[in-house]
Structure 1
């Protein structure tokens, strides 16, 4: 299977787990706490499959960058987190950095 699909699954699982972390209320709410544990387990499992074909630096940059952007968007939409202009600038720089790594860097797995 395509390692980029594994990486996408890892990212989605991590974003779900991180978003559920707030709802777990310090692991006192069972359902969100279970989602956190299962989500992080799935995220690391699929990330480990990804690392068979994609260099660890590239995989982690994409995983963490996409995770930051998606978790921030979820926090903005679901939890009412306020974002100012500089937050959007920072998110844009993260997206740009991941794009440069994947599109222009010779260390990327093309």
Structure 2
């Protein structure tokens, strides 16, 4: 159950970060409200996950998977450029997160 909550928290973090980007582009304060709500839910879920998952693992998963997913969102939705260097370092983040999980 805690892993599921962590996964949902990661998705909420990606929604929150995307909303922040939309707010900066559109100047629409509704996106800031969406950001605040989803980021709060994301942190609450991370808090819950920390009850059963080690801090080093949970936070690495939350941050690393969030970075990876938000990079994909940036590329697909916001038309951001993904260079080979960005791709390499995102893969290294994923390897690091998987390595932490496997070592636990």
Q: Same fold (TM over 0.5)?
A: yes
Give the structure with the larger helix fraction: 2
User: What do the CA deviations read for 1:75-100 (whole angstroms, capped 9, x no partner)?
Assistant: 01111100111111001101111111
Gaps of 5+ in 2: none
Root-mean-square deviation (CA, aligned residues, Å) is: 1.4
TM-score computed with the length of structure 2 as normaliser: 0.94
1:29 CA drift (Å): 1.1
Aligned residue number for residue 66 of structure 1: 65
Give aligned pairs, total: 104
Aligned residue number for residue 87 of structure 1: 86
How far apart, CA to CA, are the structure 2 residues paired with 1:28 and 1:37?
15
Contact 1:7 1:46 in 2 (8 A): yes
How far apart, CA to CA, are the structure 2 residues paired with 1:68 and 1:57?
16
Which moved further from structure 2: 53-62 or 28-37? 28-37
1:30 CA drift (Å): 2.5
Aligned residue number for residue 98 of structure 1: 97
Runs of 4 or more consecutive aligned structure 1 residues displaced over 4 Å after TM superposition? none
Q: What does residue range 17-96 of structure 1 map to in structure 2 within 5 Å?
A: 17-25=16-24, 28-96=27-95
TM-score computed with the length of structure 1 as normaliser: 0.89
How far apart, CA to CA, are the structure 2 residues paired with 1:72 and 1:57?
22
